[in-house]
């Protein structure tokens, strides 16, 4: 009884002191040591760091660029499709393509050549990407490597005077989140996390309707990343180099991929721009899927024998969050159960609600969803200008139905016109911080954990994101 009470006070003390701003939860191996450190908060949880905002990057307009000169780092599955999409956008020049694997880098060069770009190729070592960041003729580093490299590449890029667009998640630890914030503020370089789901058609429609007051006050949102990745991604020898994602989830327990569902919800709720996240409670199931799968595969293929371990956990994670203004969010994660894909995307306001999944997306003003005709009329009225402008082309180019292209187009359009980016470094840090914070809560019997305010109070005056009103620059060709 006594010990329990002492533990409780130690844990709540940490939360009360504000895990915000502390450097904790470093991803370290082996799994047992990692879990021990997560649970006790030993990884620096008690070394409080007070960050003072040096410069507010929210709403920041960098000097406009006539041509955006890009260096790509990590051109596996995701990075290669980014190269393909960028080749369809005007006003860019691909100066470098980099991957530790020469065949991937050379393929990216070939694809670039077909659109008239002449990038230099960098490959052959683990830190070859530094050479790309060190060049003085590149404006933007666009990176799609395994998770552990995202922050090192982002920080190094900004230190070398480049804007950075990084795949999700931007950071793996709270320490890394603060590194991104500090570096972006000091260097005045954009640090955008490439959260493509913020640019999906239904999400943009709902965001515009929220802005026009259709939903009234937003009270609650549900979101998730529920995607059965077993066969196509996690265990596929052909999909991920070194099965890096499987290795990540074999030793971590929490919401390991929060941003796809969470990003659009944070934009709808004006998080970092009028409201902030206050605290979170997170709970995981045990592993019912992964160890069994490893055992099955290892029966016929020795390659999988090292994956027969008992450190898997958290097939299904559920986190609930309270915002400073008293609203709530439910966020789920599951990449191993045989379920249909869903990001849920349920927005509940005082006047209306919407639900994207199961498709098709629906809108309601009461007990019933509006009819197909009414939905069409709402779509007509509220479809934002960016969709009207490039929606059709985006569908043709593809990339998750077009949202990837809208994201890239918008990024380049903002850089060429000196507009603020839709997702700033505070969004990158906050949306990514859910993973290490959820790990801490899970490891401590779902104890509430404070969520850092990476804006250091400027959320009170930051303007809401405005994706709906792009300044057209004819950036598409």
Ligand X SMILES: NC(=O)c1ccc[n+]([C@@H]2O[C@H](COP(=O)([O-])OP(=O)(O)OC[C@H]3O[C@@H](n4cnc5c(N)ncnc54)[C@H](O)[C@@H]3O)[C@@H](O)[C@H]2O)c1
Nearer to ligand X, 25 or 96 (CB): 96
Residues in region 191-250 near ligand X by CB under 6 A: 194, 196, 240-241
- Which residue has the CB atom at the shortest distance from ligand X? 76
- Report how far residue 328's alpha carbon sits from residue 322's, in angstroms, rounded to the nearest whole number: 5
Nearest one of 321, 147, 327, 158 to 247, comparing CA atoms:
147
Give min distance, CB of 421 to ligand X, in A: 16
- 104 counts as binding ligand X under rule CB under 6 A: yes
# of chain residues touching ligand X (CB under 6 A): 26
- 79 counts as binding ligand X under rule CB under 6 A: yes
316 CB contacts (<8 Å, ≥6 apart)?
284, 285, 332, 333, 334, 337
- 384 counts as binding ligand X under rule CB under 6 A: no
Among positions 78, 88, 220, 325, the unique one binding ligand X when judged by CB under 6 A = 78
Rg (CA), the chain: 22
Nearer to ligand X, 76 or 470 (CB): 76
Residues in region 152-191 near ligand X by CB under 6 A: 167-168
- 76 counts as binding ligand X under rule CB under 6 A: yes
Give min distance, CB of 36 to ligand X, in A: 27
- 99 counts as binding ligand X under rule CB under 6 A: yes
455: enclosing H helix or E strand: none
- Report how far residue 306's alpha carbon sits from residue 298's, in angstroms, rounded to the nearest whole number: 9
Contact present, 375 and 362 (Cβ < 8 Å): yes
119 phi and psi angles, rounded to 5 deg: -75, 150
Nearer to ligand X, 198 or 363 (CB): 198
Nearer to ligand X, 38 or 168 (CB): 168
107: enclosing H helix or E strand: helix 102-114
Compute the C-alpha angle 293/316/256, nearest 5°.
90
Give the pair of three-digit tokens for residue 440: 């801490």
Give min distance, CB of 204 to ligand X, in A: 16
- 254 counts as binding ligand X under rule CB under 6 A: no
Nearer to ligand X, 27 or 149 (CB): 149
Among positions 74, 119, 314, 470, the unique one binding ligand X when judged by CB under 6 A = 74
Nearer to ligand X, 219 or 241 (CB): 241
Contact present, 330 and 342 (Cβ < 8 Å): no
Give min distance, CB of 418 to ligand X, in A: 26
Q: Considering only the stretches 7-15, 71-79, 156-164, 304-312, report the one whose residues sit in contact with ligand X under the rule CB under 6 A.
A: 71-79
Tell me the DSSP string of 203-271.
HHHHHHHHHTTTT-SEEEEEEEEE---IIIIIT-TTTSGGGHHHHHHHH--S-SS-HHHHHHHHHHTTB
Nearer to ligand X, 146 or 391 (CB): 146
Give the pair of three-digit tokens for residue 42: 């030993």
Tell me the DSSP string of 109-157.
HHHHHHTT---EEE-SSTTTHHHHHH-SS-SEEEE---GGGHHHHHHHH
Give the pair of three-digit tokens for residue 163: 């804007």
Give min distance, CB of 153 to ligand X, in A: 8
Nearer to ligand X, 76 or 402 (CB): 76
Contact present, 162 and 133 (Cβ < 8 Å): yes
- 261 counts as binding ligand X under rule CB under 6 A: no
Among positions 95, 100, 162, 356, the unique one binding ligand X when judged by CB under 6 A = 100
Among positions 65, 144, 289, 421, the unique one binding ligand X when judged by CB under 6 A = 144
Among positions 98, 108, 141, 320, the unique one binding ligand X when judged by CB under 6 A = 98
Among positions 145, 184, 318, 476, the unique one binding ligand X when judged by CB under 6 A = 145
- Give contact residues for ligand X (rule: CB under 6 A): 73-79, 98-101, 104, 126, 128-129, 144-147, 149, 167-168, 194, 196, 240-241
């Amino acid at each position: 009884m006594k010990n329990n009470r002492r533990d409780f006070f130690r844990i709540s003390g940490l939360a009360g002191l504000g895990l915000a701003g502390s450097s904790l939860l470093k991803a370290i191996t082996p799994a047992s040591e990692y879990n021990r450190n997560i649970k006790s908060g030993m990884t620096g949880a008690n070394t409080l760091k007070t960050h003072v905002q040096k410069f507010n990057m929210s709403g920041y307009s960098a000097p406009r660029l006539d041509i955006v000169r890009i260096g790509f780092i990590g051109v596996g599955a995701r990075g290669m499709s980014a190269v393909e999409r960028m080749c369809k956008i005007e006003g860019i020049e691909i100066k470098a393509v980099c991957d530790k694997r020469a065949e991937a880098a050379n393929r990216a060069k070939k694809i670039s050549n077909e659109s008239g770009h002449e990038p230099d190729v960098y490959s052959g070592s683990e830190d070859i990407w530094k050479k790309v960041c060190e060049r003085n003729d590149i404006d933007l580093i666009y990176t799609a490597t395994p998770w552990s490299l995202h922050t090192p590449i982002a920080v190094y890029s900004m230190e070398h005077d480049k804007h950075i667009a990084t795949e999700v998640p931007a950071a793996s630890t709270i320490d890394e989140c603060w590194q991104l914030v500090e570096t972006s503020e000091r260097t005045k370089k954009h640090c955008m996390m490439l959260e493509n789901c913020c640019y999906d058609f239904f999400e943009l429609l709902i965001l515009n309707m929220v802005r026009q007051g259709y939903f009234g006050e937003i009270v609650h949102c549900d979101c998730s990343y529920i995607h059965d990745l077993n066969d196509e991604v996690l265990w596929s020898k052909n999909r991920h180099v070194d099965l890096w994602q499987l290795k990540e989830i074999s030793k971590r327990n929490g919401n390991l991929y929060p941003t796809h569902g969470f990003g659009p919800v944070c934009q709808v709720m004006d998080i970092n721009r009028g409201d902030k996240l206050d605290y979170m409670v997170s709970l995981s199931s045990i592993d019912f899927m992964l160890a069994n799968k490893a055992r099955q595969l290892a029966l016929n293929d020795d390659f999988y024998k090292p994956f027969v371990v008992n450190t898997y956990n958290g097939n299904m994670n559920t986190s609930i969050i309270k915002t400073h203004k008293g609203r709530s969010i439910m966020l789920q994660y599951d990449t191993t159960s045989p379920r249909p894909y869903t990001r849920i995307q349920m927005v509940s306001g005082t006047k209306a609600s919407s639900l994207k999944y199961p498709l098709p997306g629906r809108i309601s003003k009461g007990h019933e969803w509006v009819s197909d005709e009414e939905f069409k009329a709402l779509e007509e009225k509220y479809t934002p200008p960016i969709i009207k402008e490039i929606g059709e082309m985006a569908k043709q180019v593809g990339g998750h139905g077009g949202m990837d292209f809208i994201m890239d187009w918008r990024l380049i359009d903002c850089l060429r016109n000196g507009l603020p980016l839709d997702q700033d470094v505070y969004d990158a840090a906050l949306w990514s911080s859910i993973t290490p914070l959820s790990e801490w809560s899970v490891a401590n019997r779902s104890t509430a954990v404070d969520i850092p305010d990476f804006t250091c109070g400027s959320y009170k005056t930051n303007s809401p994101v405005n994706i709906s009103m792009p300044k057209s620059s004819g950036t598409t060709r």
